[in-house]
């Protein structure tokens, strides 16, 4: 029969593990977002990218000049882990957005997905999505 100490340790461990996936909701964690833009087109384009918090506050904005056939990778903003809307506009005309939700993984813990923008790729003329998240 296990001792009271063993039972208490097991109950405490289960309680901590059971709430670990929800801790990002407390606003205690921050994560850097990587931004990847792929221009598969033969023409140059401008991609206007912004990340907006649920309260409507714009946390990141950049107009990215994309030469034909080029790829753009950079560290984006460091954000408090939470839910955001990522909006992209191609050449001031065509728009798409992605609902960014934190990922909870056993290996990396709670983090924000990378932002992926595809111009004239397999997903159509213009697509904004998250790597490792749900599009």
Span 66-88, average pLDDT: 92
Span 2-7, average pLDDT: 56
Confidence category of residue 4, pLDDT binned at 50, 70, 90: low
Partners of 51 in beta bridges = 60, 86
Q: What is the pLDDT of residues 11-24, one digit of tens each?
A: 554 444 454 544 44
Q: Which of 121, 122, 55, 60 is nearest to 87 (CA)?
A: 60
Q: What is the dihedral of CA 63, 68, 69, 72, to 10 degrees?
A: -20
Instruction: Give me the chain's average pLDDT, please.
Output: 80
Domains of the chain, each with CATH number or no CATH: 4-131 (2.60.40)
């Amino acid at each position: 029969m296990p001792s009271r100490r063993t039972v208490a340790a097991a109950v405490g461990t289960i309680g901590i593990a059971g709430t670990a996936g929800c801790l990002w909701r407390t606003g205690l964690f921050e994560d850097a977002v990587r931004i990847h833009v792929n221009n598969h087109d033969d023409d140059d384009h401008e991609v206007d990218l912004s990340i907006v918090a649920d309260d409507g506050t714009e946390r990141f904005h950049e107009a990215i000049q994309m030469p034909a056939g080029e790829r753009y990778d950079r560290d984006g903003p460091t954000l408090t882990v939470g839910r955001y809307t990522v909006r992209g506009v191609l050449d001031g005309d065509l728009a798409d957005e992605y609902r960014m939700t934190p990922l909870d993984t056993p290996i990396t813990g709670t983090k924000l997905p990378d932002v992926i923008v595809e111009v004239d790729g397999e997903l159509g003329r213009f697509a904004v999505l998250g790597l490792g998240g749900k599009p």
